[in-house]
Amino acid sequence: MSPATSPFPWITTLTALPLAGALLSLALGRNKAMARWTALAFSLLSLALTLILWHNFNSAADGFQFQEIHTWIPSLNVDYRVGIDGLGLLMLLLTAVVVPISIFASWHIEQKVGLYFSLVLSLQACLVGTFTALNFFHWFIFWELGLIPAFFLVKLWGGPGSAKAAMQFLVYTMVGSVAMLLSFLAIFLSTGTFDLTELATMAQNGTLMPAVVTRLNWHLLTPDHVAMIIFCGALLGFAVKVPLFPFHTWLPSTYSEAPSGVTILLTGAMSKMGLYGFLRILLPIFSAEMRSALTLLLWLAVATIVLSAYTAMAQKDLKRIFAYSSINHLGYCLLAIFAVVRFTGGDPLLTSQKFAALDGAFLQMFNHGLTAATLFWFVAMLERRSGGLRGLNDFGGIRKAVPVFTGLMGITLFSSLGLPGLNGFVGEFLIFKGVFPLTMWAASLSIIGLLITALFILSILQRVFSGPLNERWAHLPDLTLGERLALLPTIGLMFVLGLYPQLILGVVNHTAIQMALHLRTF
C-alpha cells in the first residue's frame, strides 16, 4: 500500500520559504536595515508555519505525515519523498526557534549584511531538507549543501583564526561524508534503492546485509566483516558531525572563531543533524552492527561525556567552555542511542526503559539546542558591551552593574546544569532512567560528567558575576528593553518545558516507542 500524501506541500513550502528570504536579503544587501528585517521576518514566518504543522500533527499515528512523493530520477529509483514523524517535527521546531535567535545575536553585523543573512537562511533551508528527506539521495544533497553556507559564515565573519577553523571544519565533515556516501553506494548497488524506510524494513527482517555481502562478494572477508566495514563508513559521517570522541577536535576552534550568531546555528541546530542521522539512519538500518560494537560505542559515549566536561573546566574562554559543554551534553544523547540497541530478550521492563531513554534523547536534543543557543547569545551581548572580551578572568562582580543580564544568564546556566524546574533537567533524567537498567556501568561513569559540569558552571557564576566589582565594568550597560523582550520567549520556554515537558513528550513519545520496537531483535 502506498503511503498517504499531503494535499498541500507543507514541507516543500517550509524548505523554500527561507530560500526565498535568502534571495531577498541578498538583493536588499545595500540597505542593511532592510536586509536584517527581511531575514528576521522570513525566519518568523518559518516558525509560524512550523507551529501550524505542530498543531496539525497527529501524535498517535504511525509512520510519516505531511508526505510528498514525486518521481524524480527513475533510472536510479530515486523519488522526491519528504515527510515527518515526531522526531522530524521536533527538529523542525528547534531549527525554527534557533534561527531567529541567531539573527538577533547577529543584529549588529556590519560587513556584507545582505550576504550574511542570505547564508543564514540558506543554512536553514538545508537543515529543513535534512530533517524531512526520506530518500538518502535527496537527504545527502541537503546534508552536504549545509556545509557551504556554514563554511563561509565562519570564514568571512569569524575571528583571527577563522580561516583555519573553517577549513578544519570543512575537511573533517567532508571526510566523514565521503565515507558515509561510499557505504550507501554499496548498499544501493546491492538493493537498488535509496529509500530510508525500505532499507530500514530490510534491516529489520534480516535481508539487507546478506544482500550487500552477496553483491560485494569480498572473498577475503567474512560476511560479518563486510557488514562492519559498511557500518563504520556510515558511522564516521555522523560521528564527526555530532561530534563523538575522538572526532571532536574541529569543534572548539570552529565554535570559538565563528561569530556568535553562527556558533548559535552550529550548536543549536547543525549538531543535531548528526544525532538525527544516528536516530533516522544508523539505528533502524545498522542496529545489528551497532549491537556487535556496543561495548566500544558505549566507551566512546562515556569518553565524550566525561572528557569534554573535564576539558571545559580547564578553559578560560567562555565560548570554548560552552563549546566543550555542548559536546558533553550531546554525549548523553549518544549514550541513550547506543544503550537502546542492547539485546534484552524481549523483557517488557527493559523495553519500557528503552522508550524512556529515547524520549530523553529527543528532549535533550531540543533542550540543548535551546539552552546552548541562548548561552552563546549572552556571550555575543557580553562581547559587544566589553569590546570583544569573553575571558573567564576578564570580568568579576558584574552582577552589580548588569543585574538583569546576570539573572537571565544565570537561569540559562542553571538550565544547562540540569536544575529541576528548568528544561535541562527532564531530558537528562529520562536518559539516565532508561540507560541505568540497560547498561549500569556506562550510566554510572557518565554521572562524573554531571558533577564536572556543575563545577565549571558554578565557576563561571563565581568568577564572572560574583565577588567585588571590577571598576572597569562599573558602567557596563544592562540589557535594553528590546533585548529583554527578545530573550523573554526563550527564557520562558525553559520554564515551560521544565515544568510541563509533556508539551514535547506528548508529540514524540509514539515515535520513540515505534523506533524502539522496530529495532532488529535477532
The pLDDT value recorded for residue 473 is 84
Q: In terms of Cα–Cα distance, which of 136, 103, 134 is closest to 35?
A: 103
In a domain, 458, yes or no: yes
In a domain, 273, yes or no: no
Q: Which residues of the chain have pLDDT under 50?
A: 1-2, 522
What is the model's pTM? 0.92
In a domain, 302, yes or no: yes
> Residues in the chain, how many?
522
What is the rounded CA–CA span in Å between residue 428 and residue 443?
A: 11
Q: Which domain holds residue 439?
A: 293-522
What is the rounded CA–CA span in Å between residue 298 and residue 319?
A: 28
In a domain, 421, yes or no: yes
Q: Residue 70's beta-bridge partner residues?
A: 80
Q: In terms of Cα–Cα distance, which of 235, 345, 210, 216 is closest to 286?
A: 235
In a domain, 323, yes or no: yes
134-170 pLDDT, tens digit each: 999 999 999 999 999 999 999 999 888 888 988 988 9
In a domain, 428, yes or no: yes
In a domain, 330, yes or no: yes
| Residue reference for cell 520562558 | 492
Give how far Cα 111 sits from Cα of 31, 32, 35, 36, 145, Å. 12, 9, 12, 12, 24
In a domain, 277, yes or no: no
388 Ramachandran zone, left/alpha/beta (phi>0; psi -120 to 50): left
Q: In terms of Cα–Cα distance, which of 297, 327, 298, 296 is closest to 310?
A: 327
Domain count, the chain: 1
286-302 pLDDT, tens digit each: 988 888 899 999 999 99
Q: What is the DSSP string of 257-302?
A: HS-HHHHHHIIIIIHHHHHHHIIIIIHHHSHHHHHHTHHHHHHHHH
